[in-house]
Amino acid sequence: MKAAFLTGIRQLEIRETPSPEIKGPHGVLLRVGVVGVCGSDVHYYTTGRIGSLVVKYPEWTGHECGGTVVGMGEEVNRLEVGQRVAVDPLIPCGHCDQCLSGREHTCRNQNFLACPGQGPGSLAEYLVMPERSCYPIPNGMTMVQASVIEPLSIGLYAQRLAEMPPGAKIAILGSGPIGLCVLLASRAACDCTVYATDLLDERLAMARCCGANWTGNPKQTDVVRAIRELEPLGIDFVFECAGQQETFDQAVELLKPGGTVLMIGIPEVDRVSFSIHTLRRQEIRLQSVRRQNNCMAPAIELVSSGAINLDQLVTHHFSLAETKKAFDLVADYRDGVVKAIVHVSE
Ligand SMILES: [Zn+2]
Ligand SMILES: [Zn+2]
């Protein structure tokens, strides 16, 4: 089969590689339909690492995808051949303390698609996943929508972790795909006031389409001051989706006493800092967000019911042969890109 591999910093090649085989009774062989390019894939592409996970070339890439079941192990019973699914890229061990306590996303022995040394990548013609990672999608849902379910599930999980009450004032710092998914999930969940920021005006325009009440670009506006003028008491929940020291600082300055910052962005640095006295005096809560947990099925439901429109996030389409172009586009934030999609077989 053909698959995309990272072969160096900013190098990506489509290579022939053996097709995967179903191992074990719960394995499912998928023909990959559509793959979304994620910021984390592009981190590995441009820098060769995220934190302590360092790429050894050649490395698989891609983890967001929708596919069609073409084969399965003898104990698979929730799926059938021809069923279309959205894929959760996580392969948990199923027996550690985390898995047994319902925290598969922090499994101690986890494999995740295209994380260095872990699973294969979804940017391939075929993929084998455990049954538990395959979520059937309804007939009306497109394969492109299926490929955006995983990032939506992250936004939904972050929104649920916040436990925001109706009327909450929230700020989303960084309006890329994940920030916009937090926005869509928050809008669908409750009546809230949403302030969104980004360095790219096209993304702010998209944030307004997705329901932001106010948007600001820190290149042109002192966003903390502007939001504070409108919300003198401060913000209840800040979703940090940029992973920059600057946005961590903005988060703390925006929050009201007792407010929460949810940290979703992936910083390129190993450490960030906070003013400990501000955190202490204001009793600010720091909540990190590790991908998602149990939010794939509810994300599918929100899209299929029409409560969330994912199509607006998808701005660019490529073929598997054009994967490098897709990665360069996302890496360089060109042409108003939000979600770039690679069509592998659809
Ligand atoms: Zn992703
Ligand atoms: Zn585990």
Could you give the angle at which helices 177-189 and 143-162 cross, rounded to 10 degrees? 70
Report CA dihedral (261, 161, 106, 133) to the nearest 10 degrees: -130
Q: Which ligand is nearest to the CA of 103?
A: 2
> Is the CB of residue 3 less than 8 Å from the CB of residue 291?
no
**Identity of the residue numbered 236:** D
Could you give the angle at which helices 245-254 and 223-230 cross, rounded to 10 degrees? 20
Residue 268 pLDDT: 86
Residue 51 pLDDT: 87
Phi and psi at 263, nearest 5°, equal -100, 110
* Å from CA of 151 to ligand 1 middle: 6
* Å from CA of 318 to ligand 1 middle: 17
Could you give the angle at which helices 296-304 and 143-162 cross, rounded to 10 degrees? 120
* Å from CA of 98 to ligand 2 middle: 6
* Å from CA of 215 to ligand 1 middle: 24
* Å from CA of 115 to ligand 2 middle: 16
| β-pair type (27-36, 126-130) | antiparallel
Residue 35 pLDDT: 98
Nearest alpha-carbon partner for 266 in 281, 288, 284: 288
* Å from CA of 97 to ligand 2 middle: 7
**Identity of the residue numbered 130:** P
* Å from CA of 261 to ligand 2 middle: 27
Q: Which ligand is nearest to the CA of 102?
A: 2
Listed as ranges, residues in the chain with pLDDT below 70 are none
* Å from CA of 330 to ligand 1 middle: 13
Instruction: State the DSSP H helix or E strand holding residue 45, giving kind and residue range, or none if neither.
Output: helix 39-47
Residue 276 pLDDT: 94
> Is the CB of residue 152 less than 8 Å from the CB of residue 311?
no
* Å from CA of 311 to ligand 2 middle: 34
Identify the residue whose tokens are 């101690």. 108
Q: For the stretch 61-97, what's the b/e string if a residue is b when 16 or more beta carbons lie within 10 angstroms of its beta carbon?
A: bbbbbbbbbeebbeebeebeeebbbbbbbbbbeeebe
Residue 158 pLDDT: 98
Q: Which ligand is nearest to the CA of 181?
A: 1
Nearest alpha-carbon partner for 261 in 280, 236, 281: 236
Residue 346 pLDDT: 75
Q: Which ligand is nearest to the CA of 176?
A: 1
Residue 316 pLDDT: 98
* Å from CA of 177 to ligand 1 middle: 9
Q: Give pLDDT tens digits for 54-76.
A: 999 999 999 999 999 999 999 99
Q: Which ligand is nearest to the CA of 108?
A: 2
Q: Which ligand is nearest to the CA of 153?
A: 1
* Å from CA of 62 to ligand 1 middle: 8
Helices (H) and strands (E) in the chain, counts: 10, 20
pTM as predicted? 0.96
* Å from CA of 262 to ligand 1 middle: 17
Joined tokens for residue 29: 């062989």
* Å from CA of 90 to ligand 2 middle: 11
